[in-house]
Structures are given as C-alpha cells and as structure tokens.
Amino acid sequence: MTEVVRGLDAVVPAESVVTIGNFDGVHRGHRVLLRRATDAGRHLEVRSVAVTFDPHPAAILRPELAPPALQRTEDRIAALAATGIDQVVVVPFTHELAALDPGAFVARVLHARLHTVRVIVGTNFRFGHRAAGDLVTLVEEGDEHGFDVEAVTLLDLDGLPISSTAIREQLVAGELDWATRALGRPHVVTGTVVPGDGRGRTIGVPTANLDVASGVLVPGDGVYAGHLELAGTRYDAAINVGVRPTFAAGRSVEAHVLDAALELYGREVAVSFLHRLRGEQRFDGPEALVAQIQADLAAARTLLRHPSAH
C-alpha cells in the first residue's frame, strides 16, 4: 500500500529510487516514469518514491500565469498511489524552496532524507532557482551525491508530445479525443452539488449544478456526454458547460443524469467527459432550447450505450 507523506521533514530516511515532478493529471507520460521508478525500486530492493509539489510552482512564482489544474491535489495523490509506487511525498512549494540553487535543491529534496540512489525524470526536467538546473546538472549532482540518473523521452501522440500543458489546451478547445487518449482516461471534474436556478427542473430536465474547486480545469463551453459518479456508482449523464446564453446566466457545470432520479444536493460527485456533442449556442426561446436539449439527451444515450455508433 502506498504511503503518503506530507513534507520532506516527515520522510523517514532510507534509500530510494525517486521520480519527481508536478504530475498534474498523472497522464500516460507520467505513468511511464512512475512504472520505471517502481520497477527499479523492486530491482534494487529499495523504496520507490514520487515527489510532487503543492501548490503548482507557478501559483507561487507567477500566480497570474498559473495554469488551471487537471486534478485537485487529493485526486492527484490518489492517482499517483494507484500506480503502485511505494511512497508519495507531497512537498509544499514555497518561495524558500524556489530560491534554492540546483545544488541546494538536490541536497534538500533528493539527498537529505530520501537518500536517492536513482532519479528517473523526463528529458525536459528542470529544477532549482529560475529552472537553472537541467539533465547535465542533475547528472553532475548525482556524481557528487552518489545517485545515477535515468532520462525518459517524452511520449508522442499523433505527433504532439504528451504533456499536462497540451492536455489542458485540448480540453479547453473541447477536443476530448486526444486529451482522453493522452490521459489514458476521461477528464474528470469533481464538486459538490449546490442549488442552481432550478430552471432545468421546470422544463423536465433537472440538473446537478457543481461547485467545482477553484483552479481546476473545466473543458471548453459546450454540451457533453459522460458519466456522473456518486459514492462509487456511475450513471450516464449529459453535461453542459458554459454561460447558458439563452438565459444570460453565469458560467456553470451542470449534469443531467439520464433516466434516473437522484437526490444530489450537498453530495460530492465526479463528472467525467467522454464525448462532445456540440458547442454552446443561443436559442430564440425556451421552446427551441427544450427541443435541442431533448435531441442532446438522445445523442448522449446513443453514444454512451452504443459506443460503436460514434
């Protein structure tokens, strides 16, 4: 079972194979690193460790440029643990940590408590103050501190390197197919169901209005087919993301569970995005909107229950 440790000072010193990064989304490229670290740990008979940071470094260094997260921190930790790594170390990212030069960063993060014997990172890995350290620097530090370095080439998908940045861009554009394949799973948004304006219920299509955690990425505006998961049970759903232009309302994430009546207020649910049905559009009035919603629900049922029709 994976051990989760919060803060370097809480780590019990022991030899480790370490992979290090933000791991936002724990996508297919990340899982290559994690798998290699796990395998190397078993081979060398030492523990395998994933070191990740919270919050994202950009949120501290350039908050106005910080990207939305693909996952909440707790979901990222759970995804890391699901890979079978022995230990996940969550390091608080602070201005003090950011100010460490590459040598001090290695001494503090990799050597002092983790007693690193091997580091496994992507070829684009940078570290230390102003990202001054690269692979060459890491190898030099390894020579000094007694660990070796394995660099892993980034995975490509359809000619585009798999990265958290690329996945974000595709999701914002509403391009689910590439993002889903790069993640190795559908994108998921988690939130508590809160009261909305109740308009969906008045037209016979009640929706669960999600209070999504601040800073978590929501796909581009539009209508989607996917799933709503509640307490381990998954339901087919149609999902609307956007500003509801017909009614001039604020931006929202709403999910309508297909063919099931659930009491969801106050419950935490996870909504996964499988297919994009259409972009958001304005209708002349409620009647046109209701007709389109019924067409959307029919399309969602077909895609979710007869995937070969897609």
Taking only the tens place, the pLDDT of each residue in 207-225 is 999 999 888 999 999 999 9
Band the pLDDT of 201: cuts 50, 70, 90: low
| Token representation of residue 167 | 């996945």
Mean pLDDT of 44-65: 94
Q: Identify whether residues 11 and 146 lie together within a single domain.
A: yes
pLDDT at 200: 64
Q: Are residues 27 and 142 in the same domain?
A: yes
Most confidently modeled range among 61-65, 177-181, 193-197: 177-181
Give the range of the structural domain holding residue 110, as residue numbers without chain letter. 3-160
Whether 197 and 245 share a structural domain? yes
Query: In the chain, how many domains are there?
Result: 2
Percentage of the chain with pLDDT > 70? Answer: 94
Looking at the structure, do residues 129 and 250 belong to the same domain, yes or no? no
Q: In this structure, are 147 and 196 located in the same domain?
A: no
CATH of the domain at 61: 3.40.50.620
Do 192 and 109 belong together in one domain? no
- pTM, whole model, 2 decimals? 0.92
- What is the per-residue pLDDT across 77-119, written as a single tens digit (0 to 9) for each? 999 999 999 999 999 999 999 999 999 999 999 999 999 999 9
CATH (domain of 216): 2.40.30.30
- pLDDT confidence tier of residue 248, bands split at 50, 70 and 90: very low
d(CA 55, CA 18): 20
Half-sphere exposure of 283 (CA within 13 A, CB side): 13
Is there a single domain that holds both residue 139 and residue 200? no
